[in-house]
Every structure is written in C-alpha cells, then in structure tokens.
Structure 1
Amino acid sequence: MKVTEIRGHHVGFVPDPAIGNARTMIRRRDFLLLEIVTDTGMRGWGEVFSSPDAAAALIRHRYAPAVLGQSPARYRAIWERLAANQGYDRRGPSMMAISAIDMALCDLAAQERGISVSALLGGGLRERVFSYGSGPFITEASDPYGHYAAEVEAALKLGYRAIKPRAGVSPRADGEMLAAMRRQVGPEIGLMVDINQAYSARAAIDAAKRMEASDLLWIEEPVEPEDIPGYAAVASAVTTAVAGGEALASIAAFRDFLAAGTMSILQPDLTVCGGYTGFMRIAALAAAYDLPIMPHVFGTIVNHQAALQVAALLPPRRGGGPAPYPYVEADISTNPLLALQGAVKPNADGTLTIPDLPGTGLDLDADRLEPWRRESWICR
C-alpha cells in the first residue's frame, strides 16, 4: 500500500452565540482535516485545529514529497524524516503539520492490518475511558457565568460525571461560580476548571485559593503557555493540581516544564504535539516523572476518535476524582464537526467506548464535509 494523494479540507463554522473564555471570544472555529489516500482506496484522517492555514502550506510545499509514494506502515520513519526538516519552526505550525500527517498515516497503517490504532501501537489497556464535559463557556452576556447552571444540568442529564467550565473573569467571580456549581452537582461529580492562559501568576494564585473549597481535580492553563516561572509559582502556592500542555508542540518543551516542577497533569494535543508518535514520546517522559497524562481534544470528530485510541494506551493514575485517569475531553458546545458520526454521548457510567475497529474507527466521507468546507486542495 502506497500513498497516492494528500487532500486538505479547510472546514469551519460560526458558533451562535459566540463562545469564549477569559482570553478571547470564539466567533469562528476553523480546522484543517487532512485526508491521505492510498493506491488501495483506503483513506486515513488527521487534523489541525490551531494554525490550520499555516500547517496546510507546510504540508503542500514542504512535506508532501516525503509522504507521497511511501507506505503508511513506515509512519515512524516518515515522522523522523519530517521532523528533521522542520528548520527553526520546532514548536509551531511545522509540528502541527507533522501531527496531521502522522495521525492519518497511523490510521492507514492500522486499517491495512485490520486492527485499531491502539492495537497498532501496542494494545489498549481498557475498552472504555472516562469522559468529562468541556464547558460551559463564557459568553458576552452581562453575567458571563449566568447561563452555567442550566448548561451544567444539561451535561449531567447527558451522563457526564465530570465538568470543566471556563473561568478567569476575576478571582472573586471564579470562586463564587465554582462554589455555586459544587452546590449544584453535589460531592460525587468531578469538577475542574480551565482558565485558558488568561491570568498573571498572582491572579491565578488568588483565583485558585478562592476555588479551593470547591474540591477541584485540576486548574488548567492558569497562565501563558510559555511562562515556566509563572507555572512554577502557581504550582508551589496552591494545593490543587495544575494541568497544561495543549499548546506545547515538542518533547523538549514538556521536558523544560517538568524539570521546573510546574505541572501535575500533562495534556498534549495530538494535533499539536506530533500526532500519535509525538504523543507517545511525551507519555514516556510523563512516566519518568510518574505523572498522569491525557489527551487534550477540542476539535472535530477526527481528533476525538484519535484521542480515544491514545487514551486506551495510557496507564491508570489515581487523581482523586470519580474514576482513575486518563479522562477524555468532550466538547459540550454545539459543534457539528464533532457530531459527524452522531452526537457524542457517554455511557451510563460516564465513560466513552473506545472503538475496536480498523484504524480509528472513523467512517468519514469527504462529501459529508461540504456544508462546512471553504477550500480543498490535492497533492499528487
């Protein structure tokens, strides 16, 4: 089996109403879905959710020649060849482009053998993985948190047993919001909070202390993603676990953060950190520090399915919540590109079933992307 075509599909949609966090309002969500086609007609899928246009340009003009004509079974060798050709861009769109290629090649390599990606990478440790509802999100209403109670109730009715709201309006508002949410959900539901890089270290510490009584599993991205001293200051000042890593694109970046004692939970995103190959390198680093690792995922069904496969491979770690880690994030906002195979909904025990089908278990035809597609291209 050889790669004959690389197809890029630029897709997106406008959330209505706009959703956001303390750092920005999201008025449009854009993605690159990468479709790699072989001479057997098989198709593998990858994704870029950050910098999709820049990653697409790199794939088309730098990386495609190293992939076309190759066997997907050589995904490791191809990854190393692409990584060696990054130049100075080692933590940006270059690695995002490699991520999408690696995801699609591993999907194809597993399909060729008739096994799942998790089986291709050594075999899963579980058939189901605990999931948490990612949301509610900040809106432009006069009370940014005023709609949270209704959306949390809806998530609980769907079956989620852990919820991760967005925070960062102010330390006092954060504390009050989480206290109200804990009263609403009771003691058995897991709560974590995502600040989305919005605070200075001092403000993050203030907010964390005000939220401490709400018994959070973790505080995610409290400061800017490259602020190692800020992360270290927050981690040393609060008792709640600090999580992050979705914006880090290299194993060297994670090494630097861990050496500084910054994070208790690592959250690489497959579309940012080098796909499956990059993620598993970071997972080995997490094991060296005896830290839990779980995939960040906030995009389309492509990354969601990939996150389930990699979550199958991760050893369990106790974090004090309703289930051992890892958890898989599930976007609870209106996202038509996540619902391409039907609505994502947890089982009665709060878990998602990990597909035991060839590849990622994704049955996706590019024609189904048409309502959200703004551009397509092909490399041959």
Structure 2
Amino acid sequence: MKITNVSVYRAPMTAMKEGAAHAVLLVRIETDEGISGAGEIGLAYGAGGSGAAQIVLELARAHVIGRDPMRTEAIFDAMRRKTFWGHVPGPIFGAAVSAIDEALWDIKGKAMSQPVHVLLGGACRDELRLYCNGWYRSRTTPEAYAEAARDVVARGFDAMKFDPMKLDAAGKSAHPNRRLERPLENLAAARVEAVREAVGPDIDILVELHGNIWPMDAIRFGKRIAHTNPLFMEEVADAEDAEAARQVAEGCGLAIAGGERLCTPIEFRRFFELRALSVAQPDMGIAGGFTGVRAIAALAAAHGVYIQPHNCGGPISTAACLHLSFSITNFLIQEIFPVWPEDDRLDLVDAPYEKQVRNGRMPLPSRPGLGVELNMDYLKRLDCLTAV
C-alpha cells in the first residue's frame, strides 16, 4: 500500500456567545488501495491553524506521499528529524505532524480491520470515565453555575471542569493577565463553592485557570478553594514553566494538571522530573498524535503521573483521544464536550463519539481505525488544500 495524496479541510464554526470562533482543521490521507484515514490539526482556536495546514502539505510532499502508511514510526521520525525545525516542533509544526500521524494510524487500523486501540496494545479497560466541559457557557452568577452543574449531573456525569474566571459579572470575557484582581477572585471562588454545594461531595470538580495568572495569585486562589476538594487545578501558571507549576502545587496543596501546549516528551520530562504535575494533559493534535503521545504517556507512567488527553476541537480529536486513553495503563479521566450548541462540527463524521456517551462513560470502540468516517458531503462544501 502507498500513500497517494494528503488534503486539508477547513471547517469554520459559528462564533460562541463569548466571542470565540473555532475552525476545525481536518487532514485526509488517501492510498492506492482505496483506504483513507483522518486526522485533526489541534489548533481549532487561537492563532496558527493556517500555518499548520501549510506545513501538513510540505511534510506530505517531502516525507509522506509514496510511503507505506503502515510504517508510522519511520514516517513520524522523518517528519521530526529530517525537517530541521521538527527537532523542536512547537505547537504549529507539532499540530501538522500530529494530524498526519493520526490519519496514518486510522489507515493502519482499517487495513487490519482493527480499532486503533488494539494496535496500541489493546484495551486496558472496557469503558472510559469522562468529564463534561462546555456546560457553563454564558453563565455569570454563582447561582447560574450551580444550576448548570446540577444539569450535568442529571445527564449522568460524575465529573465536570470549568474556568471560574472566564467571564466577569457582566458576562464579558475576563481572563486575567497575570494578576488576579480581588473582585474577579471573589466571584471565581464563589462560583467554585456554588458548584461544589450544588453537586455534593461525590462529584469531581476540576478547576481550569488556562495559564492566565502567576504563581502568587494561583497559590492564593488554590488555598481559597481547597476546601471544595477539586480533583485538580489546571494550567496554574505560564504553560512552559515547570518550576512555577511545582511552586503552586507546593504552595496550595492541590493536585496540578497541565501540558496541553507542550509538544514533546522532552518538554514533559522537565515537569515530571520536578514533580510539577500530578496529571499530564498532552493534546493528541499537537503532541505527536498516537506515536508522540504514547511516548509521553510511557514517560509519565515512569514518574507516577496520570494521563488525561486534552480535547477541545472536532470529532476526530475526540476519536483519537479515546483510542489512546483506552490503551494506556495510567489513564485517569477523559475530557469531552458532549455538545457544541453553536455549530454543527459533529456532522463532520458519520458517528461522532460525543453522541455515544452513556451515563458519563464511553464504551469500548469496536469499528476499525478511529471508528468514525469523514462526511464527504460536508467536506465538499469546505475550502480544501491538497498536496498533489
């Protein structure tokens, strides 16, 4: 089998009420045997997606087209080692490598009539525990957070994540810029306390800070909400600063999660060696796809660190996260956005996993490859770039 073409599709999404607008970027790899695979560039938001799309085409022409898609390790190594900048890829270059790698594993699974998790060593569990994200959009008051949290529990979830600083009291974007001012701190703490009171002690709450504040403020906030017993506090300082993450962990006594913006095992190694993270959150769409993230997961296991793949994009990202999570021993919990009320991104595939959630759990996938097929009727409406 030989790879014959690589295409990138851009699916722009309707802006959310908070103002953020996503664009899901999908990669499709075709072969001379009629088997195709799908991957996703992990840059659905923020800057850099268009750059990653162009890098996909460069990599495809130089190192992918004409190769045997079963040789995922060799292709991954060529994309990283024979491209100069691939040695230290960063999220833009890393996203291109990741999407190609995911699509290659999808092809490999289909060719062998096996789910990807089987090729990765087989399932370590029969279902995945999920936590719900995206449930608190447009909420402002602590009472509104509490009501929405109760709805999440009513849908069967026993874990949920939220950023209590995302919006100010007026519903406007309020992400702090390093310094956490007292009014927002008070409101954020009240939101966390309201959620805990609403869901009771047996539901896990996960508190997201998005790397927007510095250690002094993160420690103070962590101490303030410690009595609510969050499962972890996430991205508590600048994303690349392992020493700061450890400082916060030691200062507030909470478990710290992070890593969604890191791209290689070497970048994660610093955090692991410093004991800065209890939970590592590599993104399948920027940290190397299956080939890259399973190496990170193995390194994490050697340091006693759990894995929770970061997932905030389209349905191919979700599919890749699930197969990886089923196959590793140090899995903790999986992030999922069960609905995207503003847009139709779940229609990009035939059977999105987001619609298969049952009581906050995901059953073991059984279809070959990633277990989803791209909706070509949808893709025909999108802008498309091809390597050939």
Normalised to the residue count of structure 1, the TM-score between the two structures is 0.89
Secondary structure (helix, strand or coil) at the match of 1:184 reads helix
Residue 315 (structure 1) shift = 1.2
Mark the runs of 5 or more structure 2 residues left unpaired by the alignment: 167-183
Residue 367 (structure 1) shift = 2.0
- Give distance in 1, aligned partners of 2:202 and 2:15: 31
**Residue number in structure 1 paired with 2:307:** 293
Secondary structure (helix, strand or coil) at the match of 1:130 reads strand
| Contact kept? 2:163, 2:208, Cα under 8 Å | yes
| More divergent stretch after superposition (251-260 vs 129-138) | 129-138
**Residue number in structure 2 paired with 1:11:** 11
Amino acid at match of 2:82: N
Amino acid at match of 1:275: G
Residue 291 (structure 1) shift = 1.2
**Residue number in structure 1 paired with 2:196:** 182
Residue 177 (structure 1) shift = 0.9
Identity, in percent, stands at 28
**Residue number in structure 1 paired with 2:79:** 82
Amino acid at match of 1:106: W
**Residue number in structure 2 paired with 1:53:** 50
**Residue number in structure 2 paired with 1:21:** none
Secondary structure (helix, strand or coil) at the match of 1:118 reads helix
Secondary structure (helix, strand or coil) at the match of 1:177 reads helix
**Residue number in structure 1 paired with 2:152:** 155
| More divergent stretch after superposition (86-95 vs 144-153) | 144-153
Residue 172 (structure 1) shift = 2.4
The 1:138–1:358 alpha-carbon spacing in structure 2 relative to 1, beyond 3 Å, is: closer
Residues 59-91 of structure 1, C-alpha deviations (whole Å, 9 max, x = no match): 212443311111111011100011113423522
RMSD, aligned CA: 1.9
Residue 368 (structure 1) shift = 2.2
**Residue number in structure 1 paired with 2:94:** 95
Query: 41, 65, 72: which is aligned to 2:34?
Result: 41
Amino acid at match of 1:39: D
Residues 165-200 of structure 1, C-alpha deviations (whole Å, 9 max, x = no match): 112363322221111111111111111111111111
Amino acid at match of 2:253: T
| Contact kept? 1:30, 1:49, Cα under 8 Å | no
Secondary structure (helix, strand or coil) at the match of 2:40 reads strand
- Give distance in 2, aligned partners of 1:330 and 1:9: 23
Matches within 5 A, 1:313-332: 313-316=327-330, 325-332=331-338
**Residue number in structure 2 paired with 1:351:** 361
Residue 262 (structure 1) shift = 1.1
| Contact kept? 1:149, 1:181, Cα under 8 Å | yes
Matches within 5 A, 1:361-372: 361-369=371-379
| Contact kept? 2:132, 2:159, Cα under 8 Å | yes
**Residue number in structure 1 paired with 2:385:** 377
Query: 340, 345, 348: which is aligned to 1:337?
Result: 345
Secondary structure (helix, strand or coil) at the match of 1:73 reads coil
